Amino acid sequence: MLRFAKFIAALGLFAVPFSSQAQEESCTSNFLVTSKLECVSCGIQKAHGNVPSEKFLALLGFAAQHYYSGLNPHERDVDSVAAMNGFYQHVIQQVQAYGYCVGVKVKPNGDLTDKKAYDKVSTNMLDLVYPSITGSRSRVRDGEYNGPLTGDQMKKMVKHFGFKNEDDVKTMFQDDFWRTTTPAQRQKHFRTYAEKSGVVNGSDDGDNLKECLKQLKNLHTGTTDFNLNSPNEANQKFCKTVAGECGIASSFCMGNTAPAPVPASSSGNNQPVRRNLYNSTNSSTATGAH
């Protein structure tokens, strides 16, 4: 019945609320809580009504820790306000520039399907993915990191994220001029490498990464919030919403990179889930959704 209701609603014959679907989808999970990415996920849902891919947020957290010189990989003190703010700021700046994908396949018009895609971190990979983001070997207790990932562990990590090798991940996410570039310039850098052939591997993880990268490209060209060819107030509003959910100052959304703590808002309060990726809450137009 729910599947039929979705179909009818997509046709626009009459309005059918997706309340049961919204209750099933949540912006939080055990992994997102322990990896400190919950507020980013819930901020995106609050801003756009979509639940972002857990795996994509894990990839951004991994990239922030390993390829951004402004952080101290593997040694982040999760109890340090300054360290956590720096981590949140960089992950949010990545989302501001790159956008986000959802965990299911998306139709050309933006409608979400029920087919899983770049969805969640595999259970058998949690003990590698978690410490690569948080600096802790334990998925329960913080501060137990015992050193960087080995070469073989890094290969498994990269494969799980859908890439052929670590150099591809590093090239895509490492931006030596990050602190002095705009969201539009960061997006251009990302797209230059994300659209190169031969980046993804031939596994199911690679196919799902392709789907995620396709969704990101469509967000860049088909929505107001992430079309950064000109100054974009909608993009800044999106960034500020996510920053607010993480309890950090949002001045960096305007180009200021110095974060400062502000009272945290409550995360994990689920919003009604939208069933279209490109017609988002903040977007006033969505040229790619027609």
What DSSP character marks residue 11? H
**Residue carrying the six token digits 């200021």:** 256
Left, alpha or beta for 75 (phi > 0: left; psi -120 to 50: alpha)?
Answer: alpha
Q: Which two tokens stand for residue 179?
A: 């602190």
* Residues forming beta bridges with residue 217, ordered by sequence position: none
Closest CA to 91 of 137, 52, 149: 52
Is there a domain that residue 45 lies in?
yes
What local confidence, expressed as pLDDT, does residue 69 receive? Answer: 62
Residue 8 lies in a domain: no
Proportion of the chain in helix, strand, coil states, percent, rounded to 5: 50, 5, 45
Q: How many whole angstroms separate alpha carbon 32 and alpha carbon 248? A: 18
Q: 263 or 97, which is more confident?
A: 97
What does the pLDDT read at residue 227?
87
pLDDT at residue 289 tops 80:
no
Q: Give mean pLDDT, residues 112-136.
A: 87
For 230, other C-beta atoms within 10 Å of its C-beta total 6
Assess whether pLDDT exceeds 60 at residue 263.
no
**pLDDT greater at residue 70 or residue 155:** 155
> Is the per-residue pLDDT at 41 higher than 90?
yes
The answer to the question of residue 284 being in a domain is: no
Answer whether residue 82 shows pLDDT above 80: no
**Domain range for 152:** 26-270
* Within-domain flag for 259: yes
Confidence of residue 127 (pLDDT cuts 50, 70, 90): confident
pTM: 0.79
> Residue 136: what pLDDT?
58
How many domains in the chain? 1
pLDDT number for residue 80? 66
Within-domain flag for 281: no
- Cβ atoms within 10 Å, residue 93: 24
Identify the residue with better confidence: 75 or 28: 28
